[in-house]
Structure 1
Amino acid sequence: MFNILRGTLPYDIKIVISGNHELTFDQEFMADLIKQDFYYFPSASKLKPENYENVQSLLTNCIYLQDSEVTVRGFKIYGAPWQPWYYGWGFNLPRGQALLDKWNQIPDNTDILVTHCPPLGFLDWVPKKMQRVGCMELLNTVQRRVQPKFHVFGHIHEGYGMMTDGTTTFINASACTVNFMPMNAPIIFDLPNPRTST
């Protein structure tokens, strides 16, 4: 993480999104957290708003996406940090309309979708809970409307790997194992020629 914050990874273009562990990037979460008497996240809850209100400025030499898009070498890339409620961390939303409202912002012509959470049924199995924890609303958005070439996500460490539905290649690029050990190798994939040359 330190290299990402300093922008020193040796790549021309780096695209970054937040997830449930990037608490200070979720401004609403932090506003609620610092009002609580009991602190589930003691180190974060002691912060003052001026300590985190401009946290995105710490990301140097990269492109940060939060419910936004960028075109890189002709590929339209959209990024979003949200997931169905999961253990009271950042960027949680209730299943249903709240998540659908976020996914409805994804443009139809997205080539690469980067979300923190997986869609339901794709690399989202949590063996310890014996259940899938992906997002149904995201699945419907990806398969019925957007149909990106690639959908890259993480969140569920046990789901690391790749699979396809014949239209979209789903990539769970979790760097950490279920025990939070950063041992999963980066997943590298080739991109076909983009639709446009902008």
Structure 2
Amino acid sequence: MNVLIGALFFLLLLSGNLPYEYKIVIAGNHELTFDKEFMADLVKQDYYRFPSVSKLKPEDFDNVQSLLTNSIYLQDSEVTVKGFRIYGAPWTPWFNGWGFNLPRGQSLLDKWNLIPEGIDILMTHGPPLGFRDWVPKELQRVGCVELLNTVQRRVRPKLHVFGGIHEGYGIMTDGYTTYINASTCTVSFQPTNPPIIFDLPNPQNS
């Protein structure tokens, strides 16, 4: 299967030249214009936190997804590719008021409850609690416990791919699901982490 799964900002830079049959992307906390509610609130605040956004007109970010003409964008949605069911969601626990931030607890659980059972590959921007989510500077894990419960108790995907926490780059498993923090950037925001390549057995119905 010739598929690239990745973060939106990275793929926007390179995807036009990447030789993959399918390119599947999700947004994250820095893709502000993909979060319509965030942008609506930002307009009310007169862009004081993000002054460069003031140069945009509402119609400039009304349908930014349409600009992704060479990839598949997922936002609380799924796609089946080569027999694999892939679901993507951009949400993360609140952190400094960026895009797609939600309070921990019920607000995030409501989003995770949208993930259907039977998903093979789950893509989220942030990690579940306890899996590649350690932040040494803060001496704490910052993953989402609601996401962890959703993954391990209900959805049980073969693969859970995320980024968000740059310090957590790498792979773990709980014996059933493989967790990949594929963050391209290091903790110092240098895009030097190499892509992580993985293989999954083809689904029986593919």
User: Which residue in the other structure is 1:96 paired with?
Assistant: 105
Match of 1:4 among 2, 6, 12: 12
Residue type at the aligned position of 1:185: P
CA separation in 2, counterparts of 1:3 and 1:187?
A: 14
Give me the TM-score of the superposition, normalised by structure 2. 0.92
Identity %: 77
Question: Are the counterparts in 1 of residues 171 and 179 from structure 2 also a CA contact under 8 Å?
Answer: yes
CA separation in 2, counterparts of 1:196 and 1:67?
A: 24
Residue type at the aligned position of 1:4: L
User: Which residue in the other structure is 2:160 paired with?
Assistant: 151
RMSD after superposition: 1.4
Aligned pairs (5 A) from 1:180-191: 180-191=189-200
User: Which residue in the other structure is 1:114 paired with?
Assistant: 123
Match of 2:44 among 23, 35, 44: 35
User: Which residue in the other structure is 1:169 paired with?
Assistant: 178
Residue type at the aligned position of 2:12: I
Question: What are the superposed Cα offsets for residues 119-154 of structure 1, whole Å, 9 maximum, x if unpaired?
Answer: 001000111111111000000000000110000000
TM-superposed deviation, 1:196: 2.0
User: Which residue in the other structure is 2:90 paired with?
Assistant: 81
CA separation in 1, counterparts of 2:73 and 2:47?
A: 31
Structure 1 regions of 5+ residues with no counterpart? none
User: Which residue in the other structure is 1:131 paired with?
Assistant: 140
Match of 2:79 among 67, 70, 80: 70
TM-superposed deviation, 1:37: 4.0
Question: Are the counterparts in 2 of residues 81 and 91 from structure 1 also a CA contact under 8 Å?
Answer: yes
CA separation in 2, counterparts of 1:173 and 1:44?
A: 28
Residue type at the aligned position of 1:73: K
* Distance change (3 Å), C-alpha of 1:172 and 1:2: closer
TM-superposed deviation, 1:58: 1.2
Is residue 2:55 matched to residue 1:56? no
Question: Are the counterparts in 1 of residues 46 and 54 from structure 2 also a CA contact under 8 Å?
Answer: no
TM-superposed deviation, 1:48: 2.1
Question: What are the superposed Cα offsets for residues 56-83 of structure 1, whole Å, 9 maximum, x if unpaired?
Answer: 1111211000000000000000000000
Q: 2:22 is paired with a residue of what secondary structure?
A: coil
Question: Are the counterparts in 2 of residues 33 and 45 from structure 1 also a CA contact under 8 Å?
Answer: no
Give me the TM-score of the superposition, normalised by structure 1. 0.95
TM-superposed deviation, 1:3: 6.1
In terms of mean alpha carbon deviation, does 44-53 or 59-68 score higher?
44-53
CA separation in 1, counterparts of 2:168 and 2:177?
A: 17
